[in-house]
Structure 1
Amino acid sequence: MPDLPSRDEALALMHEHVESESLRRHMYAVEAACRAYARTFGADEDTFGLAGLLHDFDYERWPDEHPLRGAGMLRERGYPEPVVRAILAHYSARTGVVPESRLERTLHACDEITGLITAAALVRPSRSVMDLEAKSVLKKMKDKQFAAGVDRDDVRQAAEELGVELAEHVQFVIEAMRGVAPELGLAAPA
């Protein structure tokens, strides 16, 4: 695999293209979850992390071309094809790239669920992931009005394709997000 760009380079690219703090936080959350799964799988944490960090970097400027525009930009900058393909596979409805590799399935499984977890944390009195548990997220998931933009079927299918039980997946991602809670604005109040 070609040399990976550094996280600092990827972060600079993301910040150049993403102004929305909520979108940046989403990308940090997905990065944290992907990195945590990489550690569990014995996979390259930096590769998984870059895919998570950059998966939506083109969305704000080119929503109708996302993630195709971003994939092209990453290829031009020499990002390795597994990272580019994972980013394409996280939105297979548009790209036709079906998640196949462990990296691709991981990014797909971590994307939507981080949004649901964030929404569930923000309605808690603490507004934090530090005291959030999977059962609360799963209960909120049953309410179709709550975080209505999150595709529940996609969340279930992605966890299944990753080979993890949904409640375990939700708890795993919550714990990964706890590790970066301050960057996500979801740390317990001081």
Structure 2
Amino acid sequence: MPDRSDALALLESWVDNEALRLHMRSVEAAMRHYAALRGADPEVWGLAGLLHDLDWEKHPDTHPVTAVDHLREAGYPEEVCHAILAHRPDYTGVDPVTELDKVLYACDELAGLVYACCLVRPNGIDDLKPKSVAKKLKDRAFAAGVNRDDVAHGIELIGLERNEHIQNVIDGMRAEAETLRIRAVDRAG
């Protein structure tokens, strides 16, 4: 099975947009955190998060099918490929059915919103609370590209209370705050 270093090399070769790279790493951080909470393999779950938008920049019309075709050829686990397809069921027709599928779906859009919240706070992610994220979730003008319906559906899929899910995503991203550049000091320097 390809490992994280292989996945990072793939990300670097397929994705030029730094913001998209940071989003994919944010989802990876949230997925690794959830894997630890649920007794799953953090390497597998992390790969699904890291690679879920691999083809978004260069092949938006066939996203995520183009990426999954490549990932299968490269030997990535089928559970990772399935989860990536299931994070966009409207296009692929693959519904999120496994725990990995559901958590990836639930973390994708929410990680984007959490990231945006970090960028407008004086202390970045350090003191970010679910209440602040929930408030921004209601403000559709804030981080307008975040699909609020997908956030709500993701929360339903994983069966957690909204603030618990938000806290889990924050905790996962906080663990990688320096890499994600979501601390005030990281953004200033």
Please tell me whether residue 167 in structure 1 is matched to residue 163 in structure 2.
yes
9, 18, 21: which one pairs with 1:21? 18
Question: Are 1:57 and 2:54 matched, yes or no?
Answer: yes
Structure 1 runs of 4+ aligned residues shifted over 4 Å read none
One-letter code of the match for 2:74? Answer: R
Alignment of 1:107-118 (within 5 A): 107-118=104-115
Q: Which runs of 5+ in 2 are unaligned?
A: none
Give the match for residue 3 of structure 2.
Answer: 6
What is the aligned length? 186
- Displacement of 1:173 in angstroms is 0.5
Q: Out of 43, 47, 56, which is 2:44 matched to?
A: 47
TM-score scaled by length of structure 1: 0.95
Task: Give the CA deviation at 1:125.
Answer: 2.2
Cα deviations by residue, 1:114-141 (Å, 9 ceiling, x for unpaired):
1111111111123x11111110010111
* Cα shift at 1:183: 1.2
- Give the counterpart of 1:141 among 137, 148, 151: 137
CA RMSD of superposed structures (Å):
1.0
The 8 Å contact of residues 122 and 184 in structure 2, kept in 1 or not, is answered as no
Q: Is the 8 A contact 2:130 2:163 kept in 1?
A: yes
C-alpha separation between the residues in 2 aligned to 1:157 and 1:66?
A: 20
Q: 1:153 aligns with which of 149, 155, 161?
A: 149
Deviation of 1:41 (Å): 0.7
Q: Point out where structure 1 has 5 or more consecutive residues left out of the alignment.
A: none
The separation in 1 between residues aligned to 2:57 and 2:153, in whole angstroms, is 26
Of all paired residues, the percent bearing the same amino acid is 52
1:188 Cα deviation (Å)? 3.4
Instruction: Give the SS at the match of 2:95.
Output: coil
* 1:92 partnered with 2:89: yes
Q: Deviations over 1:68-116 (max 9, x none)?
A: 1001000111111110000000011110100000000011011000111
- The reply to whether residue 131 of structure 1 matches residue 127 of structure 2 is yes
Structure 1 CA distance, aligned partners of 2:76 and 2:65? 14
